[in-house]
Chains A and B, each alone.
Chain A
């Protein structure tokens, strides 16, 4: 094997050039989004910076510094870290299934004392890095070779199954969708995905027949919350009422009485969009969506500009993650998809989700800063 010299082909740019190359417009957009989050958390707490708004702001400020720092790290370092990070994430997932903290019937957390975190969050970042790393190594003519399609599929399915068993359907679906999306973008022949889709449609009834009654019931409720009107459906009803109360222009900042007063759950986390839409109306809601769309579009443009497959796929993977978060969260609070517990990036309160999103953006920035770096197959060993 050739030695690992990922930066061989491109010269390492100077620090000043790197700082100038940081995608500042993207950072400006996400800062704006996070500022909206701080404002909204202020309102959720009935007009007080505590307990959420100030901590949210603090976390984001810290995150910004980390993003810029991560952006300056040479791409080769991230490339080398990709597989080890994936292995660590996988081990943590196994660990959580053995000694995880059980809460509300699911084992998702690791930790002790006052500190706990979800290994599945680490996996969201790690799967993007690992797949990008894999396709950097893989010879382009083999991309659609069955064996080399099976390999990344296994890399996706192992963590997905582990997360499913926690059970955390939402995160499992997110990791699965991100992984498959990356395989599409890596250039895997589209026929595979068409065949897999057709196979899933054909196999579904058989799988269905093999399930236990209680499992079927769970899936039925998942697909149709109306079957369980007081469970998930009840929250959605509350959410819809609050959205309608907001109307076109909203009730005004801090005036979202429907959300403030009523039974809307998780106002500061998963359902924060509802409150924003009640207070700022359709105008405010679409404004925020437009900011997210802008950030996502910027990421795609950044991805296309990169020379190496690794850089392209890292950015693309994070564009997918950001889009899925926003889409699933807002689709959830508007009753388009079942309640799965996915937060709204940079707006919802919560350390883990913020860390995941910012880590992804930091990696994307790093990839973009080093977009001219050419990585060649010979420079990248199979492992690590």
Chain B
């Protein structure tokens, strides 16, 4: 067996045969290519070649019209104006100066523009057009075309400008388009066109592919002086798709105006079953219209350094300790793990001893015996310390993630922060220290390392309300189907208990969120949160964050909202009434939601001077 096999020679013969065949195949392959070359260079030459030797065939790219951005009811938020501009191709123009001289007789070209054109011509490839003037008048267009024979390389090109509507209210959602800094070789050649714009932020950026469309091409034969000899082929561009923003621009504007009254705050309104973001506001607000028009570096720097960082969208990027609004997560984690029963009570004496430390309940005198329902209604901290200890941090974080925390949704939302669902592994990796038991207790009441964005709080609320993994969505291209969200796989009885607890928060006398109660047929379920961020001083920054989350109508959820007022004070005292105003705005845009709802348009509520809320420790 280990002898030299007798059939080595056979293998060699086989090799020779196959090598011979391979040689023939490779020659045949080259033959095919030779045939193709003959076809292109001789047989079908006239299809592609210029008629005369000195002529050349120019392939121009025709930009498609960019899709519009609409609000959910079809109001135009962004579209493109009709307009023409004048371009020059240096390779066809020859010496630029005489052409520009002639052109400047009827198109305004000032010294700065002239300098810019000449500089560009030195820097870029001579075949790329350079913009000479924009927004041409009809007279200018006519004159250019009339004088075309004496203006080699000069063309009028259809090129509108992007126009934005309702910018103060939706500018941060719609975003804006801008020039392109760097191009990769295999990028869409469209982007090489002069004046090409791509989405820089918001929907303009996230849905760039849909909005942009597909460029067309025009093949023309031109002579050595750039005059058009004949048109060969025109491939029409395909216009970009319209994109529908999920926001209702009316609700959005009202929410923005309301939130702008707060020093630093954010609010999100979701359609509970679809995840559509109906409105999303953050204060302080920046005037983004300046950005859309192309902003000067100076103004940009000023805006960037302005107090409160107005360019920062608190709704999607502000990361806050969620405080007691997080208690539903802790409760579900414990219930699902079976470490506590629905009716099982925990005694609250006003404080909780653990590992030699005292963890206080916001109610110093204690709640007495609390089961899940009462603990949620009155936001009893001790109950949640106890169940958090029983179930452990990993289960809490895992449930937090299931309910939408600790992640970035994508979906075209642009700038988003993930918040934080802490685990022992995370802490070891990030801080290099082990997890402490007391930190689990703090996480159980939404403090400690736990961080969430207002958008995530709204998503959590929508998920609790519907029992489905709702994903927030800011826009959809026209013609894309909406897929229903998957179920969360949480026991029905547990979810119902949480929902009853949230209902009690707003609707039972002892509930912490009574101020979110709507005096109408629409019932609200909600949860207050007061997250401690200060160090006990009296400065504004030492005040607690006030939070409130809610969904409505409680029996058939349509809307989920979340709001936060930075350093506003107590959730029940400050955030709940704000949430109530927001819910009234929502219902005013949805008369079908509750036929009996009287609406408050005729009795606008002035910002009621509120008594200084009693300072509470934690919870609501």
Q: Which residues of A contact B (CB under 8 A)?
A: 104-105, 139-141, 143, 181, 184-187, 228-231, 234, 237-238, 240-241, 243-248, 251, 257-258, 261-263, 265-266, 277, 281-282, 285-286, 289, 292-293, 296-297, 300, 303-304, 309, 312, 316, 319-320, 323, 326-327, 330-331, 334, 336, 376-378
Contacts of A241 in B (CB 8 A): 48-49, 57, 59, 219
CA A39 to CA B612, docked complex, whole Å: 86
A238 to chain B, nearest CB (A): 6
B97 within 8 A of A: no
Residues of B within 8 A of A376 (CB): 4
- B66 CB to nearest A CB, Å: 15
Contact between chains at A286 and B37 (CB < 8 Å):
yes
Q: Are A378 and B2 in contact (CB under 8 A)?
A: yes
User: Known interface pairs A140-B7, A327-B33. Does A282 touch B38 (Cβ–Cβ under 8 Å)?
Assistant: yes
Q: Is the CB of A230 within 8 A of B41?
A: no
- Residues on A with C-beta less than 8 A from B137 are none
**Contact between chains at B37 and A181 (CB < 8 Å):** no
Contact A184 B4 (CB under 8 A): no
Q: Which residue of B lies closest to A299 (CB)?
A: B23
Q: If the complex has contacts A247-B45, A336-B33, are A237 and B59 also in contact, measured as CB distance less than 8 A?
A: yes
- Give Cα A281 to B45, complex, Å: 11
> Which of B1, B41, B54, B186 has a CB less than 8 Å from the CB of A281?
B41
Chain B residues near A (Cβ < 8 Å): 1-2, 4-5, 7-8, 10-12, 14-16, 18-20, 22-23, 26-27, 29-30, 32-34, 36-38, 40-42, 44-50, 53-54, 56-59, 61, 91, 126-127, 184-186, 188-190, 214-217, 219, 235
Whether the Cβ atoms of A243 and B11 lie closer than 8 Å is: no
Check B15–A312 contact: CB distance below 8 A: yes
**Could you say which residues of chain B place their CB within 8 Å of the CB of A263?**
59, 127, 189
Q: How far is the CB of A174 from chain B (nearest CB, A)?
A: 14
Task: Give 17 A-B contacts (CB < 8 Å), ordered by A residue.
Answer: A105-B184, A139-B1, A185-B18, A230-B61, A234-B59, A241-B48, A243-B37, A244-B48, A245-B50, A261-B56, A289-B33, A297-B23, A300-B26, A316-B15, A319-B23, A320-B22, A323-B30
Sample of 16 more A-B contacts, CB < 8 Å, known A240-B40, A289-B33: A105-B184, A139-B5, A140-B11, A143-B11, A234-B189, A247-B42, A257-B56, A261-B91, A262-B59, A309-B8, A309-B12, A323-B26, A327-B29, A330-B33, A331-B33, A377-B4
Please name all residues of chain B whose beta carbon is closer than 8 Å to the beta carbon of A289 when the two chains form the complex.
30, 33-34, 37
Given contacts A104-B184, A323-B29, contact A334 B57 (CB under 8 A): no
Q: Min CB distance, B541 to chain A, in Å?
A: 41
**Cβ-defined contact, A277 with B19, below 8 A:** no
Closest B residue to A259 by CB, please name it. Answer: B56
CB distance from B238 to the nearest CB of A (A): 10
Bound: A251/B58 CA distance, A: 17
Would you give the shortest CB distance from B49 to chain A, in whole angstroms?
Answer: 4
Q: Give the chain B neighbours of A231 by CB distance below 8 A.
A: 186, 188-189
Chain B residues within an 8 Å CB radius of A296: 23, 26-27, 30
Knowing A300-B19, A331-B33, say if A258 contacts B56 (CB, 8 Å). Answer: yes
Q: A230 to B45, Cβ gap below 8 A?
A: no
- Quick one: closest B residue to A329, CB to CB? B33
Query: What's the nearest-Cβ distance from chain B to residue A290, in Å?
Result: 8
Question: Smallest CB–CB gap between A278 and chain B, Å?
Answer: 9
Q: Is the CB–CB distance between B217 and A230 below 8 Å?
A: yes
6 tightest Cβ-Cβ pairs between the two chains A and B: A244-B48, A244-B49, A300-B23, A323-B26, A282-B41, A104-B184
Where chain B touches its partner, the secondary structure class is helix
Decide yes or no: A247 and B11 within 8 Å by CB, A261-B91, A296-B23, A377-B2 being known contacts: no
**Cα(A229)–Cα(B30), bound, Å:** 27
A297 touches B27 (CB 8 A): yes
Residues of A within 8 A of B20 (CB): 300, 304
Residue pair A238, B59 in contact (C-beta under 8 Å): yes
CA distance A378 to B3 in the complex (A): 8
Q: Which of A282, A292, A376 has the most CB of B within 10 A?
A: A282
Please, which residue of chain A has its CB at the minimum distance from the CB of B14? A187
* B49: contacting residue among A141, A245, A312, A323, CB under 8 A: A245
Q: Which of A228, A243, A319, A327 contacts B30 (CB 8 A)?
A: A327
**Smallest Cβ distance from A357 to chain B, in angstroms?**
16
Chain A nearest CB from B309 CB (Å) reads: 31
Pairwise interchain contact A247-B36, C-beta atoms closer than 8 A: no
Known: A104-B184, A184-B18, A230-B217. A377 touches B33 (CB 8 A): no
Docked CA distance A286–B1 (Å) = 52
| From B4, B45, B46, B49, residue with most partner A Cβ within 10 Å | B49
* Contact present for B27 and A140 (CB under 8 Å): no
Residues of chain B within 8 A (CB-CB) of A277 are 37, 41
Q: Do A303 and B19 form a contact, CB below 8 Å, given A241-B57, A258-B56?
A: yes
Given A229-B214, A234-B189, A320-B22, decide whether A304 and B16 contact each other with a Cβ distance below 8 A: yes
Complex CA distance for A35 and B235, rounded to whole angstroms: 40
Tell me, in angstroms, the Cα distance from A316 to B12 when the chains sit together. Answer: 13
Q: How far is the CB of B64 from chain A (nearest CB, A)?
A: 10
Set of chain A residues within 8 Å of B189, measured between Cβ atoms: 230-231, 234, 263
A222 to chain B, nearest CB (A): 13
Please report the C-alpha to C-alpha distance between residue A330 and residue B32 in the assembled complex, in whole angstroms. Answer: 10
How many Å lie between the Cα of A71 and that of B194 in the bound state? 54
CA distance A189 to B153 in the complex (A): 64
Report B-chain residues with C-beta under 8 Å of the C-beta of A265: 185
C-alpha gap A181/B21 in the complex (Å): 12
A245-B57 in contact given A140-B5, A240-B40, A330-B33 (Cβ < 8 Å) = yes
* Cα distance, A265 to B192, chains bound together (Å): 13
A243: B residues at CB distance < 8 A: 37, 40-41, 48
Q: How far is the CA of A229 from the CA of B234 in the complex (A)?
A: 12
What are the residues of chain A within 8 A of B29 when measuring CB–CB?
A: 323, 327
A140's partner among B1, B10, B45 (CB-CB below 8 A) is: B10
How far apart sit A251 and B212, CA to CA, in the bound complex (Å)?
Answer: 39
Q: Is the CB of B41 within 8 A of A316?
A: no
Known: A229-B217, A261-B91, A303-B19. A319 touches B26 (CB 8 A): yes
> A328 vs B274: C-alpha distance in the bound complex, in angstroms?
49
Which chain B residues border A230 with CB–CB below 8 Å?
Answer: 61, 188-190, 214-215, 217
Asked whether, in the complex, the Cβ of A282 is within 8 Å of the Cβ of B19, the reply is no
CB contacts (< 8 Å) of A336 on chain B: these are 32-33, 36
Report the bound CA distance from A240 to B43 in whole Å: 13
Min distance, Cβ B406 to any Cβ of chain A, angstroms? 25
Contact of A262 among B11, B61, B127 (CB under 8 A): B127
A240–B48 touching, CB < 8 Å = yes
Shortest distance between the CB of A204 and any CB in chain B (Å): 23
The interface residues of chain A lying within 8 Å CB-to-CB of B47 are 244
Give A233's nearest chain B residue, CB to CB: B217
B50 proximity list for chain A (CB < 8 A):
245, 258
